[in-house]
Amino acid sequence: MEKQWLGLEEKVAIVTGAASGIGKHVAEVLKAVGATVVVADLTVETGEELAGMYCIKCNVADPDSVNAMAKTVIDRYGSIDILVNNAGLNRPRLLVDVKGERPEYELNVKDFDLMFNVNVKGLFLVAQACARQMIKQGKGVIVNMSSASGKEGSVGQSAYSATKGAVDSFTRSWGKEISPHGVRVVAVAPDIMEATGLRTPAYEEALAYTRGTTPDKLNTDYKKSIPIGRPGKLDEVGWTVAFLASDRAGYITGTTINVSGGKSRG
């Protein structure tokens, strides 16, 4: 295969949470530019293939599962060149349900722990397991999936926003810690994107309640709220990740790149 501009041929990439949503699009873009992509997801079975990508069942919040996943990749491919730390979840919840009508949409310990276990603890566990191998190799790139809400805050999503703020902080600190060992750490922060298929009616109902509206009124006139005038495309996140994972972005580390159409602050 003729080398492409990004030069990701022969690179081994792990994408967590890649069976659906943004992660699926990121994985497909990386595969399209020549990388060997491993789908690490709780919803797949180890050894099966998803669109030509090898799958490993992995619970990112479980250290044993994460370490076994990393070992499987190393044993099978000999290296880990790229990690896209994408697995995450969101439960729209209010700090206080002022109206008192839907107490299930008030932030509770169960929902708080779930979001932090996956979005923060899981991010740390997978990054650590892969960084150990990358440091041995003397090269590698970790791309963490953040969110504009981690910078801006978001009504009804305070815990989720806090987890993404942690992602940005991890990215800055790890960039300083391990870039001297040849491992870059960056993050991407999408804002309003096209539908992923993960926004279920239950999610829409919860989000609408926390924002004092109804599900049918959640969508807004994006030409007014987004300078570019439209939601982002999922593949646009994928292409941003592919660039950051390539040597073309070799001087970028310890920072978060907005993919927001100009809506979010840098």
pLDDT at 63 over 90: yes
Please tell me the distance from the alpha carbon of residue 91 to that of residue 159, in angstroms, as a whole number. 8
> Which entry of 54, 105, 160, 209 is annotated as an active-site residue?
160
pLDDT at 219 over 70: no
- 264 backbone dihedrals φ, ψ, rounded to 5°: -105, 155
Nearest-10 crossing angle of helices 158-178, 109-116: 30
pLDDT digits (tens, 9 = 90+) for 161-200: 999 999 999 999 999 999 999 999 999 999 877 777 666 8
User: What's the pLDDT at 149?
Assistant: 85
Place of tokens 């008192």: 100
pLDDT at 226 over 60: yes
Q: In the sheet that 36-41 helps form, which strands lie side by side, from edge to edge?
A: 49-50, 53-57, 36-41, 12-16, 82-85, 140-145, 183-190, 255-259
pTM here?
Answer: 0.93
Higher pLDDT, 114 or 194: 114
**For strand 49-50 and strand 53-57, is the pairing parallel, antiparallel, or unpaired?**
antiparallel
* 160: annotated active-site residue: yes
Under a CB-based contact definition with an 8 Å cutoff, are residues 56 and 74 in contact? no
